[in-house]
Structure 1
């Protein structure tokens, strides 16, 4: 078979990871990214279970380790900043990761690593400031029309354009329900200057009213702040689409009386240029492909930050999709069908988070917060989280990464 010409919409993590494997197999990949430059920004992410095995298969373990965030573990603190419970990272070499993974990394660093691994390949092209406006397809090709008015034909189109995917919307049947499973939780994060008191132990704080705060430091000068809010009011769904100024006003108002270091965090939010806000959702859809168009990563199966497996899911999905394309280059619909059957059990496992438990972790009442702190203290005193991590399986859901000899191993 002649090499396939493949269009990938989205230059984050999943798209370049797919290009990493396809380029090694001789296929031509064009990645279009709507941002004008590489979007090497974002908060801290991690790799877990099968994701750790995957970066080793990619030959990127040493490179990624050189960029890891030195986070020792998780600590639950009270309004005075006193530690009430601690769970350290599981560095035993066996079992599952704890709240803190051995592979904590800034999203921007991982994006740069994948970009650097693919940008100089003869058969990979990145095009920034451009996206797919529309497309049409037949049995042999996909005609893509771009935001700059140009168009081109490809053997297949991959939608790796995130949880709000426009490619997904285009291939779903018109009467399809919304693919979002809403958890009733909103999140905002930003960077502030690091102080001497900001250690490498992530602090988590709970306040009444369904409020939770993270403070974690990723380098010598910066600290990340995360605000989580549990609220079922449908009106809040408009907040992430409001202006940045309005978003900041909303979060400042809701957290101003929360205690701990709120004055510092809110003042830092007003000054920061690294601010992001979103509703926490999962993406569930039975349709991952249509004809010669397929979805990848969050566009297909966003698991939400509470799963801890979003980045891992992107890397695993890219590997499986690449393997099936290279194995079935003359029958793309069949390749996509195998991709779905192979990956779906893993996706089901990483999306299996209990919404009630997530919400229970952000109590509404003062008494609820007190009870949560007591239970967390008792569990940590008995070393339950540590023991659970050490004796859990290192593979989420017992799902094993398939082997694709057709994909060339890392050099």
Structure 2
């Protein structure tokens, strides 16, 4: 039988990771991305727990490390800039990390790394996306926004938490309803500031009153990353249309007045920023990640907003989907596609259920102080944990352990990589 003909909508981490595995298996893969080129923007992300093992199985761990962000650790500071606790980057090698993972990388670098690994194996079409589709026999006829129509055996949506593919698959209202707001909003940007002599690559976390926090991270000798982390609902943000950058900047400028530390200086950087991005955090929850010959992967299917596990779940989900396609669709057998999609859902759902249940719990109140006294108590706890080298905060913020779930192995994927290595030798 000929190889499966598969269209992936979205060229981010989930889409490129899925293209990586499916192209290694010899299937005919096309990736459409609505941006005009590969998106190499975005701030610092990391890979954790089972995602580290997937990275190794892809054979790109060394390339990842060569492109890794240089962050050495994270320091908590008070309003006077004093160190209240320092946590160095974890160096366990097993994927269970601290606040700073040993697998930190800029988002654009990871996308480029995986994209390069699919070079010549998968076809990428930029500047368009899926307009609509219809089931036809044992496949789907897809229409792109550029007017092109073509038939595929499988269509996969990997287009992020605000997925248009999700709405196409289950309907507009159900697609929107799958996103559950967490009443948290983050703003991200970079700004120019040359590194000073003796300065180390250490992140600085400042906890302000009324659940307004600030994180600064250095990823290069010329630039810093700024994160404004608002862990509560706010009407100023709620009134702003998502994507209205100037209005979002203005809202954050008003909300962060009087927070202290370097806030005034940083707000000036924010207002002048050209790469400002605002994200309303939430969890994507669906009863099924597939329908007919269409499936979702990554944030489009199960975005774990605020967990620090989005990149990991995208890579693990793509690995499992590709593995189940190989198991159930031997030699390009289209009759096994729906069995593969059902197996993908059944295999990965226990992990995501455990992870999302943790995200929906509020956690201990001392982690979310609103006043100066509560913040001081938190600083004492942080200082104790730092002194005893106990990364307690990571345990609650990163959600990286899902007890009782093991990453499956797929012999077909392993053999495909070995075969490619042999051909390249």
TM-score for both structures, normalised by structure 1? 0.93
5 Å matches for 1:4-43?
4-43=4-43
Residue 350 of structure 1 is aligned with which of 351, 355, 374? Answer: 355
**Do structure 1's residue 383 and structure 2's residue 381 form an aligned pair?**
no
Deviations 1:252-308 (A, max 9, x none): 12113211111221121122212110111111111200000000000010011x322
Q: C-alpha displacement at 1:396, in angstroms?
A: 3.9
Corresponding residue of 2:283: 282
| Cα offset, 1:149, TM superposition | 1.8
Structure 1 residues 16 and 238, CA gap change in structure 2 (3 angstroms): farther
Secondary structure, aligned partner of 2:403 = helix
1:7-406 correspondence to structure 2 within 5 Å:
7-93=7-93, 96-121=96-121, 124-172=122-170, 176=174, 178-196=177-195, 199-233=200-234, 236-239=237-240, 241-304=242-305, 306-329=306-329, 330-351=335-356, 352-357=358-363, 361-385=367-391, 396-406=402-412
1:51–1:316 Cα contact (<8 Å) kept? yes
**SS in structure 2 of the partner of residue 127 of structure 1:** strand
What SS class does the counterpart of residue 167 from structure 2 fall into? Answer: helix
Structure 1 pair 264–279 and aligned structure 2 pair: CA distance change class (3 A)? same
CA distance in 1, matches of 2:344, 2:337: 10
Offset of residue 140 of structure 1: 1.1
Report if aligned partners of 1:216, 1:223 keep a CA contact under 8 Å in 2: yes
* Cα 1:343–1:214 shift into 2, 3 Å: same
Separation of aligned partners in 2, 1:234 and 1:271: 23
CA distance in 2, matches of 1:98, 1:223: 21
Give the Cα–Cα distance (whole angstroms) in 2 for the partners of residues 68 and 164 of structure 1. Answer: 28
Counterpart contact for 1:73–1:89, Cα < 8 Å: yes
Instruction: Tell me which residue corresponds to 2:332.
Output: none
Deviation at 1:238, TM superposition (A): 4.4
CA distance in 1, matches of 2:250, 2:366: 26
Count of paired positions: 406
Question: Unmatched 5+ residue regions in structure 2?
Answer: 330-334
Judged with a 3 Å threshold, the aligned counterparts in structure 2 of structure 1 residues 188 and 342 are, in CA distance, closer, same or farther, namely same
Relative to 1, partners in 2 of residues 1:92 and 1:158: Cα closer, same or farther, differing over 3 Å? closer
Q: Is the 8 A contact 2:309 2:400 kept in 1?
A: no
Q: 1:325 to 1:81 in 2, by over 3 A?
A: same
Aligned partners of 1:59, 1:269: CA distance in 2, in Å? 38
CA contact (8 A) 1:240 1:278 kept: no
CA distance change for structure 1 residues 398 and 95 in 2, over 3 Å: closer, same or farther? farther
Task: Provide the aligned C-alpha RMSD in A.
Answer: 2.3
Structure 2 CA distance for partners of 1:298 and 1:332, relative to 1, 3 Å: same
SS of residue matched to 1:35: coil
| Runs (5+) with no aligned partner, structure 1 | none
User: Tell me, what secondary structure is at the counterpart of 1:241?
Assistant: coil
Asked if structure 2 preserves the Cα contact closer than 8 Å seen for 1:179 and 1:283, the reply is yes
Please give the alpha-carbon distance, in whole angstroms, between the structure 2 residues aligned to 1:302 and 1:388: 19
Contact 1:49/1:396 (8 A) holds in 2:
no
* Shift in CA distance, 55/365, structure 1 to aligned 2, threshold 3 Å: same
Q: Is the 8 A contact 1:192 1:265 kept in 2?
A: no
Q: Distance in 2 between matches of 1:242 and 1:32?
A: 22
Note the alpha carbon deviations across 1:240-259, whole angstroms, 9 max, x for none.
Answer: 61521111111112113211
Q: Quick one: structure 1 residues 285 and 238, their matched pair in 2 at CA, closer, same or farther if it must change by over 3 Å? A: farther
Q: Within 2, Cα distance between the matches of 1:383 and 1:401?
A: 29
Q: State how far apart, in whole Å, the 2-side matches of 1:174 and 1:358 are.
A: 36
Determine if contact 2:3/2:26 at 8 Å carries over to the other structure: yes
Cα distance change, pair 95–3 in 1 and its aligned pair in 2 (3 A)? closer
